[in-house]
């Protein structure tokens, strides 16, 4: 090792033959830089890469699914085959016109800021795909190969609190698209929602990873 | 083929344009621009950089007054089938980025804008000038972006775009079929924007594989000859290049049919009667 | 210890090594590639949502087509033709499809404006209305209520009726509408079949169509209705013969194109009448030989319009003239139509009368596939207008025969009889011939109020602008044009989006002005807003109108067979000629109605302009059509710059050598050379109306010019 460093030194420093202390410092610098960059890559980088945004107020999925029984009461396919996504204010009011609200702090925000002002709630959508993607919920929910919501969306339906939305500062995508793991390591089918993940499942289920136009617009 | 079967039905969507019916009104062009978020700029008179997925050309018979005749020829993307999967359409075969591809279930030639890096090989390869390059970022005057459709993503500078046979309309029709538990979509459920808009009813769109569809009855594609029309009044542009377009033209006028390709002297006489 | 360069090398290497085993590098590569694909978020991302469809009526032209507006999450994203609409049956033209480019146009007038010096300044609706009321009160106080006038793009419909009513109760009979072929057809019908009649053509059911230059598939009548009729005609093998000097789209799609010397159409029609009468192949059941006017007519055509003479005047082969006459007379349900191009301007009285004489000879009046003579259908029931003595006095003063004559008079002196002018749904400073004269006349009128949505040529001359809602923002009854379509329909324009700017319905604006005037005028406008007014004046049909979006008022011809008076044809012996002396202006400039260019008060949309050929617009230049022979004589080649001169103006153009135009003519597109504040549409080409002088016909007072003598030279 020292020989290697010596040769480096010889190469770099030319005629200068003295200065062992410099070499030792080089190693130290190397180690410091390595550790700093390595650690910041693992710990600081994700924090810098994603900006955390709090949802307008907490939404309790458990409470609602207990009441309604299933996901598709609020997240449903319309008659024309399109998918409604996050329900709008009017849909919420279908039930909440009757149900009293305002007990919790979050309900209070909902009442005062949105219902009273007739303003749509600007939810952040964890699984929002970029504009170039066409995704058909109908194709995945209906027919022979119908899928569970959980396969892609995980256990969000069992959440009692809304986790903060983490937006990638470079791409503008939500963190759930790449996955929580900064390496993109995937333990569950819902851990990542990138094109390769779609293709992987398509390959398994249909025998082909699908043509470009199937999912791109 | 096995893979395709697993996907459900395979279609071969095509278009037939009756040139005798076309009045050159331009509705198809604007219907297309408005459906597909096609941008516009201050000067659109340089037609080489004026993006128009559907473009209506004006042909003349070259005779002098008063024997002059004109004919309008709307030109979408031909969605060439090529000869087989190893010899696909000219654009697909040259694309180094797989940004353009033939969709196996519909036969539609796709163009993925986020995949394209703008080398423009496809434009050079396309004999129909159906592809357009975005030399500039599209800019909508303030407030006008409100009319943009979410079904088609706007294109950025540096990529190539072209007619998609309104593929999103196919997707929408399929979604509707899914919720209604149907495997197939009906003929009227998937029609392109230009077909729908044409006030003269000159455009027929449908599945070339399905004998019950109007387009099939109109052009009578010959499955043994790469879909060549068996209707003697129908023709495809530049047939001899064997690009095998899925867009057919129909005209009673001989000079119009003759202008569909470049014929050498005496050549037309040999082919004119057994065009199909 | 010494910190040297080596140590820094260590630092660098350490950082590289650290980065290599941390996820940052890979992630950054992936992210930056995604970023470049999405082009740094510079592109708009259209918001998705529920798709809904709403029906309304397009009022960009008089066609009154039913439209279906596709909305996503409440945002209008596309206009399509309404499938079950009786007029357009699902079809739509390019201008209609591009309707949203008008709606969302940032160059629209965003609030009321007042002209101060040379500039427009923003004012509130209240201030604008009270300012107008003040001016009008001053006029009334001078006992000169007849000195206010209104020019409207349409004569029918409740908004026009409200303006008419306003003028009436104020004390002015000076309400005018822009003339079009409908005006001339009305004159023809009244003169030949009795007063207050109008004409429409059941072309859908005809078996032979003889068109005297009508741009049947280029915007004539109700454009999309005609497109549909034309498509159906081809299926049924109904022939169309197109008579015009240029190979238009209609001529190209016709079964026969018969080039004719422009201005000699009446001669041809009368020549055909002569052959038909002479050979006694007219409809003997409907024409009585003892009819004195018919006798006079027969005599006149026999003397002055012999086939040989007509062949010479029109330049059409004698045999062909005979063939046309036979084809027309022998057809089961023939029809003859006139109105050049789109028919946007009034026609030559003689020509229309002569063409209609052919219909009368064919006996197709009030028959399926023929010409329908009927009273104007007034579906609006306004309460009786109450006038005070000043109003009565003012209203009884004589009016001008037409807006053309008004402008002509006003342009002559700055001491104008007209003190105030309302401009509604029209753009006279652009659409009227000899626009420079029109602009001068406008300058002589002390107070002008425009109700335009756009800063067009006329709005620019206004003192106050009260911007109107676009058609997708307002309620309005839209009656179908009379001449173009037999199925008299009224459609309901509905507000499908919230007003984008601080605009108002013109109907509401006039109600506000009336209320501000107080007294008798205000009492005649008891409605709290325009919608209430519309509901009450359409009481009988409102429920079906608001439910279905349209009501078909009549779709059958009157069972009455009106008598025919041929004296109108016999007495109108002079055709309108191109003005200017043939020596200095050896060529004739004619206007081309191109279906892709909006020619009327509203300019084309950016999309429409985009579809226009580079043989019509190149850069900011307009190209004019010249036959190769004409071009060669003037030593011009394709693409050359040239100057056109006419007795009233000159313009720089480029040359498009086109075989399909008759030698001796210059063809120039109508609808260009706009001066709007919209760079996508404005300042392209020239406005042909600046080059053509009006030819005011003594009888009708309308401008019936179809062209002008001109010269062209290379520059």
Query: Closest by alpha carbon to C550, among C476, C633, C450, C637?
Result: C476
Q: Are residues C521 and C398 in the same domain?
A: yes
Q: Quick check: C91 and B197 CB within 8 A?
A: yes
pLDDT tens per residue, range B56-100: 999 999 999 999 999 999 999 999 999 888 889 999 999 999 999
Distances from the Cα of C340 to the Cα of B232, C210, C252, C356, angstroms: 38, 13, 16, 15
Q: What is the mean pLDDT of residues C266-286?
A: 95
The structure's pTM equals 0.93
> What pLDDT shows up at residue B266?
86
> What pLDDT shows up at residue C542?
95
pLDDT tens per residue, range C529-563: 999 999 999 999 999 999 999 999 988 888 788 88
d(CA C430, CA C601): 7
CATH number of domain containing C593 = 2.40.40.20
The total number of residues shown for chain C amounts to: 715
Query: Closest by alpha carbon to C157, among C382, C347, C346?
Result: C382
Nearest CA in chain B to A144: B181
Scanning chain A, the segments in alpha helix (DSSP H) are 2-13, 20-39, 45-49, 61-68, 89-96, 105-109, 137-141, 149-153, 175-178, 195-206, 212-215
d(CA C347, CA C179): 9
Q: What DSSP string describes A41-52?
A: IIIIHHHHHEEE
pLDDT tens per residue, range A80-129: 999 999 999 988 888 888 776 778 889 889 988 998 898 999 999 999 99
Min Cα–Cα distance to chain C from B180, Å: 18
Structure tokens at C612: 């226009």
Min Cα–Cα distance to chain B from A79, Å: 7
HSE-up of residue C131 (Cα within 13 Å, Cβ side): 18
Residues of B whose CB is below 8 A from C104:
143-144, 146-147
- On the 0-12 / 13-18 / 19+ scale of CB atoms within 10 A, C693 is buried
Give chains near A: 3+ CB pairs under 8 A.
B, C
d(CA B103, CA B121): 20
Q: Quick check: A78 and C12 CB within 8 A?
A: no
Query: Closest by alpha carbon to C85, among C96, C101, C73?
Result: C96
Residues 47-106 of A with CB under 8 A from C: 49, 78, 80, 82, 84-85
Q: Quick check: B181 and A216 CB within 8 A?
A: no
Q: What is the mean pLDDT of residues B244-256?
A: 96
Q: Quick check: B197 and C609 CB within 8 A?
A: no
For residue C668, pLDDT over 50 is answered with yes
Can you give the residue range of the structural domain that contains C393?
Answer: 113-180+379-554
Query: Closest by alpha carbon to C600, among C374, C417, C342, C375?
Result: C342
ipTM, interface predicted TM-score of the complex: 0.95
CB C217 within 8 A of CB C250: yes
> What pLDDT shows up at residue B58?
96
C-alpha R_g of chain A: 26
Nearest to B181 among A79, A80, A142 (CB): A142
CATH number of domain containing C413 = 3.40.50.740
Residue position matching structure tokens 């600007």: A122
Residues of C whose CB is below 8 A from A171:
31, 34-35, 38
pLDDT band per the 50, 70, 90 thresholds, residue B8: low
C67 in any annotated domain: no
d(CA B61, CA B70): 6
> What pLDDT shows up at residue B96?
96
Q: What is the mean pLDDT of residues C571-592?
A: 91
A212 CB within 8 Å of a chain C CB: no
Residues of C whose CB is below 8 A from B142:
106
Residues of C whose CB is below 8 A from A51:
none
Helix pair C307-314, C265-278: axis angle to 10 deg = 160
Taking all residues of chain B, what is their mean pLDDT, rounded to a whole number? 92
C407 in any annotated domain: yes
d(CA C211, CA C268): 12
Q: Are residues C402 and C434 in the same domain?
A: yes
d(CA A15, CA C364): 114
CB B44 within 8 A of CB C609: yes
Nearest CA in chain B to C67: B197
Q: Quick check: A131 and C38 CB within 8 A?
A: yes
Q: Are residues C522 and C587 in the same domain?
A: no
Q: Are residues C499 and C425 in the same domain?
A: yes
Q: Are residues C450 and C483 in the same domain?
A: yes
pLDDT tens per residue, range C458-474: 999 999 999 999 999 99
Please tell me whether residue A167 adopts helix, strand or coil conformation: strand
CB C205 within 8 A of CB C467: no
Q: Quick check: A216 and B115 CB within 8 A?
A: yes
B150 CB within 8 Å of a chain C CB: yes
> What pLDDT shows up at residue B3?
39
Please tell me whether residue C224 adopts helix, strand or coil conformation: helix
pLDDT tens per residue, range A43-66: 888 888 999 999 999 999 999 999
d(CA C349, CA C183): 10
A35 CB within 8 Å of a chain C CB: yes
Min Cα–Cα distance to chain B from A99, Å: 31
> What pLDDT shows up at residue B276?
43
Interface of C with A (CB under 8 A): 1-15, 17-19, 21-28, 30-32, 34-35, 37-38, 41, 43, 45-46, 48, 50-51
Give chains near B: 3+ CB pairs under 8 A.
A, C
pLDDT tens per residue, range A11-25: 444 444 444 555 677
Q: Are residues C509 and C651 in the same domain?
A: no
- On the 0-12 / 13-18 / 19+ scale of CB atoms within 10 A, A73 is middle
pLDDT tens per residue, range A144-166: 778 999 999 998 999 999 999 99
d(CA A9, CA A18): 10
Min Cα–Cα distance to chain C from B62, Å: 8
> What pLDDT shows up at residue C70?
97
d(CA C370, CA C561): 12
Q: In what order do the strands lie in the sheet with C550-554?
A: C476-479, C488-493, C550-554
> What pLDDT shows up at residue A39?
85
Min Cα–Cα distance to chain B from C576, Å: 25
> What pLDDT shows up at residue C2?
65
Residues of B whose CB is below 8 A from A140:
none
Nearest CA in chain A to C10: A30
d(CA C580, CA C451): 36
> What pLDDT shows up at residue C196?
80
Q: How many domains does chain C have?
A: 4
Q: What is the dihedral angle through the alpha carbons of B154, B160, B166, B168, rounded to the nearest 10 degrees?
A: -50
CA angle B215, B221, B225 (to 5 degrees): 160
> What pLDDT shows up at residue B4?
39
CB B206 within 8 A of CB B216: yes
Residues of A whose CB is below 8 A from C31:
49, 168, 170-171
Q: Are residues C361 and C388 in the same domain?
A: no
d(CA B92, CA B109): 8
- Alpha-carbon C21 to chain mean position: 71
For residue C370, pLDDT over 90 is answered with yes
CB C102 within 8 A of CB C598: no
> What pLDDT shows up at residue C647?
96
Q: Are residues C535 and C603 in the same domain?
A: no
Task: Give which of A28, A37, A80, A192 to mutate to test C binding, by max C Cβ within 10 Å.
Answer: A37
Distances from the Cα of C479 to the Cα of C95, C317, C346, angstroms: 19, 42, 20
d(CA A121, CA C278): 82
Query: Closest by alpha carbon to C693, among C395, C446, C404?
Result: C404
Q: Quick check: C18 and A29 CB within 8 A?
A: no
For residue B274, pLDDT over 70 is answered with no
**Number of Cβ within a 10 Å radius of residue A215:** 21
Query: Closest by alpha carbon to C202, among C478, C480, C483, C479?
Result: C483
Q: What is the mean pLDDT of residues B259-275?
A: 82
Farthest-apart Cα atoms in chain B, separation: 60
C374 in any annotated domain: no
Q: Return the domain boundaries, chain B.
A: 2-274
pLDDT tens per residue, range B105-128: 999 999 999 999 999 999 999 999
**Number of Cβ within a 10 Å radius of residue B225:** 11
d(CA C234, CA C214): 17
Beta strand pairing status for C621-626 and C641-646?
unpaired
Residues of C whose CB is below 8 A from B143:
104-106, 500
pLDDT band per the 50, 70, 90 thresholds, residue C78: very high
pLDDT band per the 50, 70, 90 thresholds, residue C406: very high
For residue C3, pLDDT over 80 is answered with no
d(CA B160, CA B91): 11
C191 in any annotated domain: no
> What pLDDT shows up at residue C123?
97
Structure tokens at B270: 């040999």
pLDDT band per the 50, 70, 90 thresholds, residue C341: very high
Q: Quick check: A217 and B181 CB within 8 A?
A: no
Min Cα–Cα distance to chain B from A179, Å: 22
B116 CB within 8 Å of a chain C CB: no
d(CA C483, CA C504): 31
Name beta bridge partners: C69. C54, C79
> What pLDDT shows up at residue A21?
55
pLDDT band per the 50, 70, 90 thresholds, residue C349: very high
CATH number of B2-274: 3.30.70.20
Q: Are residues C601 and C690 in the same domain?
A: yes
Nearest to B179 among A131, A142, A207 (CB): A142
d(CA A146, CA A149): 10
Which uninterrupted H or E stretch holds C553? strand C550-554
């Amino acid at each position: 090792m020292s020989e290697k460093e010596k040769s480096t030194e010889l190469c770099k420093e030319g005629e200068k033959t003295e200065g062992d202390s410099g070499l030792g410092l080089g190693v130290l610098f190397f180690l410091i830089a390595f550790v700093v960059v390595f650690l910041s890559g693992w710990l600081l980088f994700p924090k810098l890469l994603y900006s955390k945004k709090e949802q307008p107020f907490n939404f309790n999925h458990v409470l609602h699914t207990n009441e309604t029984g299933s996901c598709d009461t609020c997240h449903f396919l319309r008659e024309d085959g399109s998918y409604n996504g996050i329900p709008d204010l009017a849909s919420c009011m279908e039930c909440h016109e009757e149900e009293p609200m305002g007990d919790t702090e979050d309900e209070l925000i909902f009442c005062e800021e949105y219902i009273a002002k007739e303003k749509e709630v600007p939810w952040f959508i964890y699984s929002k795909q970029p504009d170039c993607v066409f995704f058909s919920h109908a194709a995945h929910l209906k027919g022979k190969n119908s899928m569970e919501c959980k396969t892609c969306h995980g256990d969000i339906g069992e959440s009692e609190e809304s986790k903060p939305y983490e937006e990638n500062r470079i791409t503008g995508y939500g963190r759930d698209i790449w996955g929580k793991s900064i390496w993109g390591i995937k333990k569950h089918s819902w851990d990542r929602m990138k094109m390769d993940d779609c293709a992987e499942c398509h390959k398994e289920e249909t025998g082909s990873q699908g043509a470009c136009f199937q999912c791109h617009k | 083929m096995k893979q395709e079967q697993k996907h459900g039905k395979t279609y071969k969507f095509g278009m037939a344009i009756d040139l005798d019916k076309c009045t050159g009104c331009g509705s198809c062009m604007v219907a297309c621009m408005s459906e597909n978020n096609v941008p516009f700029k201050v000067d659109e008179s340089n037609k080489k950089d004026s993006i128009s997925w559907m473009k209506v050309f004006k042909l003349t018979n070259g005779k002098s007054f008063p024997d002059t005749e004109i004919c309008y020829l709307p030109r979408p993307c031909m969605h060439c089938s090529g000869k087989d999967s190893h010899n696909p359409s000219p654009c697909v075969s040259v694309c180094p980025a797989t940004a353009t591809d033939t969709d196996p279930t519909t036969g539609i030639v796709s163009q993925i804008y986020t995949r394209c890096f703008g080398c423009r090989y496809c434009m050079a390869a396309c004999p129909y000038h159906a592809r357009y390059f975005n030399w500039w970022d599209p800019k909508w005057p303030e407030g006008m972006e409100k009319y943009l459709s979410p079904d088609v993503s706007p294109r950025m500078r540096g990529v190539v775009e072209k007619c998609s046979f309104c593929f999103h309309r196919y997707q929408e029709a399929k979604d509707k079929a899914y919720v209604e538990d149907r495997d197939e979509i009906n003929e009227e459920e998937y029609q392109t924007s230009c077909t729908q808009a044409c006030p003269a009813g000159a455009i027929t769109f449908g599945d070339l594989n399905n004998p019950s569809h109007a387009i099939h009855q109109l052009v009578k594609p010959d499955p043994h000859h790469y879909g060549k029309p068996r209707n003697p009044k129908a023709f495809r542009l530049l047939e001899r290049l064997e690009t095998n377009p899925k867009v057919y033209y129909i005209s009673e006028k001989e000079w119009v049919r003759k202008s569909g390709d470049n014929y050498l002297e005496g050549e037309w006489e040999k082919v004119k009667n057994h065009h199909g | 210890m010494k910190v040297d360069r080596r140590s820094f090398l260590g630092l660098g290497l350490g950082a590289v090594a650290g980065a290599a085993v941390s996820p940052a590098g890979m992630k950054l590569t992936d992210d930056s590639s995604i970023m470049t694909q999405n082009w740094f978020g510079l592109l708009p991302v259209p918001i998705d949502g529920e798709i809904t469809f709403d029906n309304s009526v397009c009022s960009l032209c008089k066609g009154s087509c039913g439209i279906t507006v596709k909305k996503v999450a409440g945002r209008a994203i596309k206009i399509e033709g309404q499938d079950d609409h009786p007029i357009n049956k699902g079809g739509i033209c390019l201008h209609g499809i591009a309707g949203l480019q008008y709606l969302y146009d940032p160059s629209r007038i965003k609030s009321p404006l007042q002209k101060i010096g040379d500039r427009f300044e923003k004012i509130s609706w209240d201030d604008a209305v009270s300012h107008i009321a003040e001016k009008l009160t001053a006029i009334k106080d001078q006992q000169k209520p007849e000195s206010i006038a209104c020019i409207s793009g349409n004569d029918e419909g409740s908004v026009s009726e409200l303006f008419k009513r306003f003028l009436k109760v104020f004390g002015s009979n000076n309400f005018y509408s822009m003339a079009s072929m409908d005006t001339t057809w009305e004159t023809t019908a009244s003169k030949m079949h009795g007063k207050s009649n109008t004409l429409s053509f059941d072309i859908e059911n005809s078996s032979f169509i003889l068109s005297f230059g009508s741009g049947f598939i280029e915007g004539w009548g109700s454009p999309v209705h005609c497109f549909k009729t034309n498509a159906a005609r081809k299926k049924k093998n109904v022939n169309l013969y197109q008579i015009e000097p240029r190979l238009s789209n209609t001529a190209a799609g016709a079964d026969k194109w018969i080039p004719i010397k422009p201005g000699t159409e009446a001669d041809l029609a009368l020549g055909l009448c002569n052959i038909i009468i002479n050979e006694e192949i007219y409809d003997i059941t409907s024409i009585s030989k003892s009819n004195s006017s018919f006798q006079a007519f027969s005599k006149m055509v026999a003397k002055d319009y012999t086939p040989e003479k007509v062949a010479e005047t029109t330049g059409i082969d004698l045999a062909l003239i005979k063939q046309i006459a036979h084809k027309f007379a022998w057809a089961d349900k023939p029809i003859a139509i006139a109105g050049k191009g789109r028919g946007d301007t009034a026609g030559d009285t003689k020509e229309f009368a002569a063409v209609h004489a052919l219909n009368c000879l064919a006996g197709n009046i009030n028959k399926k596939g023929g010409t329908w003579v009927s009273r104007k259908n007034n579906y609006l029931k306004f309460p009786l207008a109450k006038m005070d003595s000043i109003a009565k006095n003012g209203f009884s003063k004589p009016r001008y025969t037409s807006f053309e004559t008004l402008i002509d008079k006003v342009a002559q002196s700055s001491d104008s009889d007209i003190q105030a002018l309302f401009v509604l749904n029209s753009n006279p400073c652009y659409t009227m011939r000899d626009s420079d004269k029109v602009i001068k006349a406008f300058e002589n009128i002390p107070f002008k109020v425009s109700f335009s949505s756009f800063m067009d040529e006329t709005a620019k001359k206004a003192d106050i602008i009260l911007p109107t809602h676009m058609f997708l923002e307002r309620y309005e009854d839209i009656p179908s044009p009379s001449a173009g379509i037999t199925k008299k329909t009224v459609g309901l324009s509905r507000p499908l989006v919230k007003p984008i700017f601080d605009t108002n319905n013109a109907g509401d604006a006039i109600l506000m002005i009336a209320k501000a005037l107080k007294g008798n005028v205000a009492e005649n406008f008891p409605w709290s807003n325009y919608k209430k007014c519309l509901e009450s004046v359409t009481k009988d049909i409102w429920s079906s109108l608001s439910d279905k979006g349209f009501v078909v008022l009549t779709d059958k011809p009157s069972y009455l067979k009106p008598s025919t008076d041929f004296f109108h044809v016999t007495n109108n012996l002079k055709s309108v000629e191109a003005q200017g002396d043939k020596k200095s202006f050896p060529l004739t400039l004619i206007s081309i109605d191109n279906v892709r260019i909006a020619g009327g008060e509203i300019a084309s949309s950016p999309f429409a302009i985009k579809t226009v050929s580079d043989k019509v617009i190149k850069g900011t230049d307009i190209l004019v059509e010249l036959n190769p022979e004409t071009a060669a004589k003037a030593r011009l080649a394709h693409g050359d710059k040239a100057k056109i001169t006419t007795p009233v103006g000159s313009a720089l153009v480029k040359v498009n050598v086109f075989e399909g135009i008759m030698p001796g003519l210059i063809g120039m597109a109508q609808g260009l050379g706009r001066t709007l504040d919209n760079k996508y549409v404005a300042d392209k080409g020239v406005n042909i109306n600046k080059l053509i002088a009006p030819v005011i016909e003594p009888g009708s007072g309308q401008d019936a010019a179809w062209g002008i003598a001109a010269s062209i030279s290379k520059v």
